[in-house]
């Protein structure tokens, strides 16, 4: 069976396999999903996606503690404060907070950036700042926002890490994950942004997605950069022209949850729906 016909049902099955609560429990999206109000979810997603790197358990702890000073309705609290008031409270409450490259100061600036973007869009969050318009590609919009934030935020290691530009060749995994969360309405995503076209989403490329995509022929590239993002996304659009990024969660969690040994072998790979397609080789039998 040609790759395209075989891959679509296999990825569908993989997607179904990972639609379970324990998959989402170890994902940064679990934090925005723990809020019920849409603007709280957007602000939590803005923070969670930004900090989504490194080991999962301490990363989730860092995200929750980053949001804690704003209470159970963080967007309501942030909108009710002036910039100066919010800065004062956040700086005092987050003193000593750190997550790898990000300091408390980076985090405060990031939260206040959401507040400014939200106010500039008449309290409609940040969707309009990322929305592709006539004659502007989605990546040109993302690049424009990244460049304006680079000018606005104090330069630091954390800020540089948070502001990769797709037009400079960066894969922009955390931005693309934030977009997926906000735009897609299918499980497990939030689907709150009603104007951003789902088909314009690009794959949030992490180490697992790039590795497994190579193994199943979605890309031939070896460097996980903007060109690999383009190649995988183009391949997924052939499988689902309407919602190509719906496969992302399952592809990444096959790796994140340790279910993919990285080398096709039985019995480990027997439950994997991609086993007939995967080109990761087979382990040699040990001679007795």
Q: CB nearer to ligand SF4: give 170 or 278.
A: 278
Contacts to ligand SF4 from residues 41-60, by CB under 6 A: none
For residue 275, the minimal CB distance to ligand SF4 (Å) is 4
- Find the binder of ligand SF4 among 202, 278, 284, 286 (CB under 6 A): 278
Tokens at 58, concatenated: 């301490």
Does 275 interact with ligand SF4 (rule: CB under 6 A)?
A: yes
Q: Which residues fall within 8 angstroms of residue 38, CB to CB, at 6 or more apart?
A: 190, 192
Placement of tokens 């088909």 in the chain: 199
Min CB(80)–ligand SF4 separation in Å: 48
Q: List the beta bridge partners of residue 102.
A: 99
Shorter beta-carbon distance to ligand SF4: residue 71 or 261: 261
Q: Of the two residues 133 and 284, which places its CB atom closer to ligand SF4 in the complex? A: 284
Q: Which stretch binds ligand SF4 (CB under 6 A): 101-109, 116-124, 220-228, 270-278?
A: 270-278
Rounded distance between C-alpha atoms, residue 204 and residue 212, angstroms: 13
Residues 4/217, Cβ–Cβ less than 8 Å:
no
Q: How far is the CB of 54 from ligand SF4 (least distance, A)?
A: 23
Cβ atoms of 9 and 277 closer than 8 Å? no
Binding flag, residue 6, ligand SF4 (CB under 6 A): no
Nearer CB in complex with ligand SF4: 10/117: 10
Residue with tokens 């400079």: 168
Both tokens of 45, joined, read: 């997603």
- Pairwise CA distance, residues 250 & 78, whole Å: 34
Nearer Cβ to ligand SF4 (159/219): 219
In angstroms, give the least distance from the CB of 265 to ligand SF4: 7
Single out the segment in contact with ligand SF4 by CB under 6 A; choices: 17-25, 30-38, 178-186, 272-280: 272-280
Kindly state whether residue 104 participates in binding ligand SF4, applying the rule CB under 6 A.
no
Which x/- pattern over 169-208 shows residues binding ligand SF4 (rule: CB under 6 A)?
----------------------------------------
Is the distance from CB of 255 to CB of 20 less than 8 angstroms? no
Interface with ligand SF4 in residues 245-264 (CB under 6 A): 260-264
DSSP string over 106-171: HHHHHHHHHHHHHHHTTS-TTHHHH---TT--HHHHHHHHHHHHHHHSPP-HHHHHH---GGGT--
Helix (H) or strand (E) holding 178: helix 173-183
**DSSP 8-state code for residue 211:** H
Residues 205 to 224 in contact with ligand SF4, rule: CB under 6 A: 212, 215
Binding status of residue 269 toward ligand SF4 by CB under 6 A: yes
Contact positions vs ligand SF4 (CB under 6 A): 212, 215, 260-264, 269, 272, 274-275, 278, 280
């Amino acid at each position: 069976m040609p790759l395209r016909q075989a891959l679509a049902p296999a990825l569908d099955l993989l997607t179904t396999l990972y639609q379970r609560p324990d998959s989402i429990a170890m994902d940064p999206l679990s934090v925005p999903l723990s809020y019920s109000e849409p603007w709280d979810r957007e602000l939590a997603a803005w923070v969670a996606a930004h900090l989504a790197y490194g080991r999962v358990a301490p990363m989730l702890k860092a995200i929750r503690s980053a949001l804690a000073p704003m209470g159970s309705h963080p967007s309501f609290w942030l909108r009710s404060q002036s910039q100066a008031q919010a800065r004062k409270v956040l700086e005092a409450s987050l003193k000593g907070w750190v997550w790898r490259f990000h300091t408390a100061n980076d985090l405060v600036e990031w939260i206040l950036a959401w507040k400014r973007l939200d106010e500039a869009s008449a309290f409609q969050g940040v969707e309009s700042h990322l929305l592709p318009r006539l004659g502007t590609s989605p990546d040109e919009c993302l690049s424009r926002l990244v460049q304006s934030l680079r000018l606005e935020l104090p330069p630091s290691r954390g800020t540089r890490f948070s502001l990769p530009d797709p037009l400079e060749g960066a894969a922009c995994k955390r931005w693309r994950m934030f977009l997926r969360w906000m735009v897609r309405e299918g499980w497990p995503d939030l689907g709150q942004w009603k104007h951003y076209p789902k088909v314009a989403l690009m794959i949030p490329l992490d180490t697992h997605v790039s590795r497994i995509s190579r193994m199943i022929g979605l890309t031939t590239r070896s460097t996980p950069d903007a060109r690999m993002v383009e190649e995988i996304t183009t391949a997924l659009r052939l499988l689902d022209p309407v919602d190509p990024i719906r496969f992302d969660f399952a592809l990444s969690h096959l790796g994140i949850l340790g279910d993919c040994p990285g080398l096709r072998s039985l019995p480990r790979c027997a439950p994997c729906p991609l086993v007939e397609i995967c080109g990761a080789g087979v382990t040699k039998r040990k001679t007795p």
